[in-house]
Chains A and B, each alone.
Chain A
Amino acid sequence: MKIFIDPPNSLILFDLVERFGHEPLGAMAPIQDRIDKIELDMPPMNVTLDDVVKGLKYAGIEVPSGIRGRLALWGPLIDIADAAITMSEPPFNFGCVGCERSNEMVRYLIRRRGIPHLIIGYPEDGDEAKAVVGQIKEFLEGLK
Chain B
Amino acid sequence: MSEERETRIFMISPNSMTTPDQLVREIHAMGKGVTAKETCYGTLVEGPRALVREVLATVRGKHPYDIYSKVRAYPTGDPRRCRAQHGTRPGYSQLEAEWELLPLIQHGLICSDKGEPFEVPKEKDKLPAEEFKKICEAIR
Interface residues of A (CB under 8 A from B): 7, 9-12, 14-16, 18-19, 24, 26-29, 31-32, 35-36, 43-45, 90-98, 121, 123, 125-135, 137
- The number of inter-chain residue pairs (CB within 8 angstroms) is 122
A130 to B91, CA, bound (A): 26
CB-CB under 8 A for A129 and B107, given A121-B121, A135-B118: yes
CB-CB under 8 A for A14 and B116, given A94-B94, A98-B90, A133-B105: no
New A-B pairs, 12, CB < 8 Å, besides A11-B69, A94-B90, A130-B118: A11-B68, A14-B70, A19-B60, A31-B74, A36-B3, A36-B5, A92-B93, A95-B90, A96-B91, A121-B121, A127-B121, A132-B105
In contact, B118 and A131 (Cβ under 8 angstroms)? yes
CB-CB under 8 A for A133 and B95, given A29-B71, A123-B101: no
In contact, B11 and A11 (Cβ under 8 angstroms)? yes
28 contacts between A and B (CB under 8 A): A9-B91, A11-B68, A11-B98, A12-B105, A14-B69, A14-B70, A18-B69, A27-B73, A28-B70, A28-B73, A29-B71, A32-B74, A35-B80, A36-B3, A44-B80, A92-B98, A93-B94, A126-B104, A126-B108, A128-B121, A130-B116, A131-B118, A131-B120, A133-B109, A133-B118, A134-B111, A134-B118, A137-B112
Interface residues of B (CB under 8 A from A): 3, 5, 9, 11, 60, 68-74, 78, 80-81, 89-98, 101-102, 104-105, 107-109, 111-112, 116-121
Chain A residues lying within 8 Å of B72, measured Cβ to Cβ, are 28
Chain A residues lying within 8 Å of B81, measured Cβ to Cβ, are 44
In contact, A131 and B80 (Cβ under 8 angstroms)? no
In contact, A95 and B101 (Cβ under 8 angstroms)? no
In contact, A129 and B5 (Cβ under 8 angstroms)? no
A126 to B96, CA, bound (A): 20
In contact, B95 and A11 (Cβ under 8 angstroms)? yes
Q: Is the interface of A mostly helix, strand, loop or mixed?
A: helix
A24 to B71, CA, bound (A): 10
**Could you say which of B3, B9, B70, B81 has the most chain A C-beta atoms within 10 Å of its C-beta?**
B70
A18 to B9, CA, bound (A): 14
Among A29, A95, A129, the residue within 8 A (CB) of B91 is A95
A91 to B80, CA, bound (A): 26
Q: How far does the Cβ of B100 sit from chain A's closest Cβ, in whole Å?
A: 9
In contact, A92 and B102 (Cβ under 8 angstroms)? no
A28 to B117, CA, bound (A): 33
Chain A residues lying within 8 Å of B3, measured Cβ to Cβ, are 36
A126 to B110, CA, bound (A): 11
A123 to B107, CA, bound (A): 11
